[in-house]
Amino acid sequence: MRQLLLITSITLREALRKKVWLWAFVILAGLIVIDSIVPRAFSQADRLQMMPQEERLRQGIFTAQFVGARIILFFTCIIAIVLAAGQISAEIDKGVLSSVVTKPIFRFQVVMGKWLGVVLFADVIILLCIGVNWALCSAIYGHLAGYAINWPMLGVMLLYPVLYGTLTIAFSSFGSMVMSLMLTATLYSFTFIGDTIIHIIAEITQNESLRKLEVLSDWLIPHGRLATWFGSLEQGMVPAMRREMGRRAGEHLTYTSFDQFYIFAYIIGFLLLANIVFSRRDLN
């Protein structure tokens, strides 16, 4: 365990050195802009004049939180991918790992230590950004922004970097840094297109092939399943108007226990793959 934690600590320090945490400032800048503009825009919107002022502001705050959560998730997934891509093959190529793996350490400890470092780093940034976002809204809007922290929702948010970090580490166990980035980006693009463009076109056209393509994208990478899980938890907090808008837009925010199982099985599966590949490959 000590060896594993040593690898985790060096991975965290490496992440700090690479200044990937600067992305947190990009996220926070985005949150500040959204938190200051969106709720005010809602409270001043002519089309919402039939609602009481306080309710309009509440809707605006929720929408700002909704958008903010997605900004946080998008950038922390990028952070996890960028960090994970340089962990294994790139360190073998550079020669950094050659003096580490000759120490009395199992190879799985190297993989798990690095994985833990990447995931911890990205998740700490999520927690930091959520904390700042909450503090910011409370400071600007007082009691209107006060809502109980939804722990399950927070837990699901933390799974996003876990998913992408694991996937990229697995690719990094056999491919170069560029290859790992490309493979993860390709899968991410496919699932993004599957969940948005293909989904919409399939709904409109009722085309069976497009539906199959959408399903395939959900199997290849369970981003959509995770998004549905996250969205359904978020829905519990959605003010009535936003819920109605979602229903009209045809949102299907129901997830099954199989979706949850698949997400965890997928993460564990890729983690196992990374360990198996790394334990069997030549390091020269």
Partner 1 sequence: MDAVIETRGLRKVYKGMIGAGVAAVDGVDLTVATGAVFGLLGPNGAGKTTMIQMLLGNVFPTAGSAQIFGMAIGSLAVKRRIGFLPEKFQFHDFLTAEEFLHFHGRLSGMDWPDLRRRTDETLSIVGLTDRRKSRIREFSKGMQQRIGLAQAIIHNPDLVILDEPTSALDPIGRRQVRDIIGELKSRGTSVMLNSHLLSEVELSCDSLAIINKGKVIRQGTLDQLLTTRSVVEVEANDIGEETLRQIATIGSIIQSNGAHLTVGVERDEDIPAIAEAIVNTNAKLMHMSYQRESLEDFFIRTIEESGVSPSN
- Which residues contact partner 1 (rule: CB under 8 A)? 2-3, 6, 10, 13-14, 17, 94-96, 98-106, 280, 282-284
Cα–Cα distance, 182 to 189 (Å, whole number):
10
Give the shortest CB-82-to-partner 1 separation in angstroms: 17
Cα–Cα distance, 51 to 135 (Å, whole number):
26
Judged by beta carbon, residue 17 or residue 143, the one nearer partner 1 is: 17
Give the shortest CB-13-to-partner 1 separation in angstroms: 6
Judged by beta carbon, residue 17 or residue 248, the one nearer partner 1 is: 17
Judged by beta carbon, residue 215 or residue 283, the one nearer partner 1 is: 283
Judged by beta carbon, residue 102 or residue 206, the one nearer partner 1 is: 102
Give the shortest CB-18-to-partner 1 separation in angstroms: 9
> Would you state the structure tokens that stand for residue 85, as one six-digit string?
């891509």
Q: Of 75, 70, 152, 112, give the one whose Cα is nearest residue 267.
A: 112
Judged by beta carbon, residue 48 or residue 120, the one nearer partner 1 is: 120
Kindly state the greatest CA–CA separation across the chain: 71
Give the shortest CB-157-to-partner 1 separation in angstroms: 30
Give the shortest CB-9-to-partner 1 separation in angstroms: 8
CA atoms within 13 A on the CB side of 37: 8
Judged by beta carbon, residue 111 or residue 157, the one nearer partner 1 is: 111
Give the shortest CB-275-to-partner 1 separation in angstroms: 16
Amino acid identity, position 93: D
Judged by beta carbon, residue 10 or residue 193, the one nearer partner 1 is: 10
Query: In Å, what is the CA distance from 186 to each residue of 40, 64, 180?
Result: 38, 29, 10
Q: Of 197, 188, 175, 139, give the one whose Cα is nearest residue 281.
A: 175
Q: How many CB atoms lie within 10 A of CB 114?
A: 29
- Own/partner pairs, 236-239, CB within 8 angstroms, 24+ separation: 236/150, 237/62, 237/147, 237/150, 237/153, 238/62, 239/55, 239/58, 239/59, 239/62
Give the shortest CB-161-to-partner 1 separation in angstroms: 23
> Would you state the structure tokens that stand for residue 212, as one six-digit string?
């199959």
Question: b/e per residue, 81-108, with b = 16+ CB within 10 A?
Answer: bbbbbbbbbbbbeeeebeebeeeebebb
Judged by beta carbon, residue 182 or residue 283, the one nearer partner 1 is: 283
Give the shortest CB-280-to-partner 1 separation in angstroms: 8
